[in-house]
Amino acid sequence: MAREFKRSSRVAAQMQKELAIILQQGIKDPRIGFITVNEVELSKDLSSAKVFITALGADEQGQKDNLKLLNEAAPYIRSEVGKRMRLRSVPYIKFHYDTSFENGMRVSELLAQFPAVSDAEEDKD
């Protein structure tokens, strides 16, 4: 009987929750803004993790600064994840900025510029 979810996806989901707590409560650096963990992608062998984040209210330079600070703090964050999760080996963590929210907002703005198809059909009647 095949499992519905792979182990890596279950570990990634738990790791996302733990990282969110660690970044909210464990990191006391005032230079790091309000960070949201959007997704965690784990390699198949669980040796490395790509953590996709967004920073609330950060401009482009602020995003770069947050990424730099988080990647510098990655060994500490990795050790905290190791304390909270029961894993044989804790994945190496690399932070990346997630641009999907900005891309979605841009698409939404572009779509708002054009009238809806249903509105155009109502005008014909």
Within a domain: 113: no
Question: Which domain covers residue 52, as residue numbers?
Answer: 7-98
Within a domain: 124: no
Within a domain: 109: no
The alpha carbon torsion through 50, 27, 24, 35 (nearest 10 deg) reads: -50
- Number of separate domains in the chain: 1
pTM summary value: 0.76
pLDDT at residue 121 is higher than 70: no
pLDDT at residue 37 is higher than 60: yes
Within a domain: 125: no
Q: Which CATH number is 42's domain given?
A: 3.30.300.20
Q: Is 46 left (phi over 0), alpha (psi -120 to 50) or beta?
A: left
Within a domain: 108: no
Within a domain: 120: no
Within a domain: 63: yes
The pLDDT tens digits for 39-96 are: 999 988 889 999 999 887 777 888 888 889 899 999 999 999 999 988 888 999 999 9
Compute the mean pLDDT over every residue in the chain, rounded to the nearest whole number. Answer: 83
Name the pLDDT band for 7 (thresholds 50, 70, 90).
Answer: confident
Within a domain: 1: no
